[in-house]
Amino acid sequence: MSGDLVGAMERDGFVVLHGTFPVELVDAVAAAYGRMLDERRDPGMVVGPGRVQLPVVLRPPFTDEALVCKLLPLLGMLLGDDLLIASYGSVVAWPGAGVQHLHRDHGPLFPMPLGGELPCHAVTLVVPLVDLDASTGTTALFPGTHRVGSPEGVEPEMAWARRGDCFLMDYRIFHAGTPNVGAWPRPLLYIVYSRPWFVDALNYHEMPPLIVGPEGLAGVGPKARWVLRRC
């Protein structure tokens, strides 16, 4: 099964995984996220019409090993056993959010076609904190575009998912958030896992990739501490 998922990641640049996490865990994380939003004093970094990128402070339940370590066996097959968490944050599409611009989070490390032939250097785990449906919207993913320089002519696939589901994206794939026509926000957690030598020098000029609270990594399990060692 893991081999099939690795093959799908190498071919399409993404995979949707159903029933990965207990719904109770996702709901606990969503409740903590809601409290975090209530405590914030700044509006976040705008990343499209009606949507913002917000940091997440690394403390339980966001650092629960059942969340950050659950997919390490699969991620290790993609990135090597010495992978680490390079960044951790969230994106919220508020009610009324429009279509996000088509983009990739990071381009290939070398010019094409070599850059598209190389294995991935980073993978984003996206964990929806609400059910994603026609009302809330989701993320449109353009399969195979991690291997090519343009999404032209590629039909997108929608990452429909419920609480407890998730999806993985090669850091090079083209994607875009779809509109949120519902009455509730659409918060997505993202955790970027990477090879240990990779540092994202493009995306974190306005906010740090990882944030640790004053208590440090208190209450974080040993496996999660290891994968968060860049902190």
Neighbours of 33 (CB within 10 A): 20
pLDDT recorded at residue 140: 98
Neighbours of 81 (CB within 10 A): 9
pLDDT recorded at residue 1: 57
Q: Which tokens belong to 57?
A: 């402070």
2-227 belongs to CATH 2.60.120.620: yes
Neighbours of 210 (CB within 10 A): 18
List the strands of the sheet with 103-104, edge to edge.
103-104, 174-177, 139-141, 157-158
pLDDT tens-digit profile, the chain (231 residues) = 577 999 999 999 999 999 999 999 999 999 999 999 888 877 789 999 999 999 999 999 999 999 999 999 999 999 999 999 999 999 999 999 999 999 999 999 999 899 999 999 999 999 999 999 999 999 999 999 999 989 999 999 999 999 999 999 999 999 999 999 999 999 999 999 999 999 999 998 888 999 998 898 988 999 999 999 998
CA-based nearest residue to 8, from 78, 113, 89, 87: 78
